[in-house]
Structures are given as C-alpha cells and as structure tokens.
C-alpha cells in the first residue's frame, strides 16, 4: 500500500493471489513466468498456431548469474516452461477464479 497526498493505492498482482495461484498450479503444476496462463480466448491473434508441446524448462537459478542480455538469449521468448496455449475450459475457469478473488479483495480487503 502506498500513501501519498491523502490517497491510498493498492496494486493487485493476480499471480500472487492465493486462489488464482492455486488454480494455475491445478491446471499446470509447472506453469511459471509467461506460461500459457495468459492465453485467454479473447487475447489470441487470428491465424497464430502454437506448437502443441511444452517448452523446455528454464533453469531459474542459473539466470541469477546472467546479465539481462544473456537472460533474454537464454529464455528466448520469456516462457519458463509451459504450453503456449491452454484449452478454453481451463482458461475460463482461471479467469473466473481471478475475477472472483479480485472482487473479494475490492469488497472486503481494500483498507
């Protein structure tokens, strides 16, 4: 929480939400940074076809000793280990979980 000029601001990071994070892990136990968990039906580009295989895992510990340029080379597209596209049913369940948890925080835990 940040207090400035009498205003309170709260930044919500969906990936840190308990229920949302649990839902992500339920769908894909190894999902990580920029996994297909951002691939909602309404964010997809027409005519883009993803490979139906999981990307190889990235050694996150190894990255800590790398320069930012080397990390970009190493991870290539920023995905750490996932499928690039998930079934709509999974994505919609994840969306509903995120919306529900966000609404709960706004209604009950905004102070």
**Which residue did the predictor score with more confidence, 70 or 56?**
70
Q: According to the model, what pLDDT value does residue 14 have?
A: 66
Residue 36 has φ and ψ, to the nearest 5°, of -65, 5
Structure tokens at 35: 């996994």
Q: According to the model, what pLDDT value does residue 4 have?
A: 58
Q: How far is C-alpha 32 from the chain's CA centre? A: 7
Nearest to 95 by CA among 34, 26, 29, 38: 38
pLDDT bucket at 80, cuts 50 / 70 / 90:
confident
Looking at 13-17, 27-31, 38-42, which range is the least confident one?
13-17
Q: How far is CA 101 from CA 2, 14, 48, 53, in A?
A: 21, 9, 31, 30
């Amino acid at each position: 929480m940040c207090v400035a000029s009498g205003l309170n601001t709260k930044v919500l990071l969906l990936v840190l939400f308990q229920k949302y994070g649990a839902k992500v892990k339920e769908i894909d136990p190894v999902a990580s940074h920029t996994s297909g968990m951002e691939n909602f039906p309404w964010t997809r580009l027409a005519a883009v076809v993803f490979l139906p295989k999981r990307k190889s895992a990235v050694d996150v510990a190894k990255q800590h000793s790398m320069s930012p340029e080397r990390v970009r080379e190493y991870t290539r597209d920023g995905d750490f280990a996932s499928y690039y596209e998930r079934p709509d049913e999974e994505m919609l369940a994840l969306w509903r979980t995120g919306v529900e948890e966000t609404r709960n925080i706004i209604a009950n835990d905004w102070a």
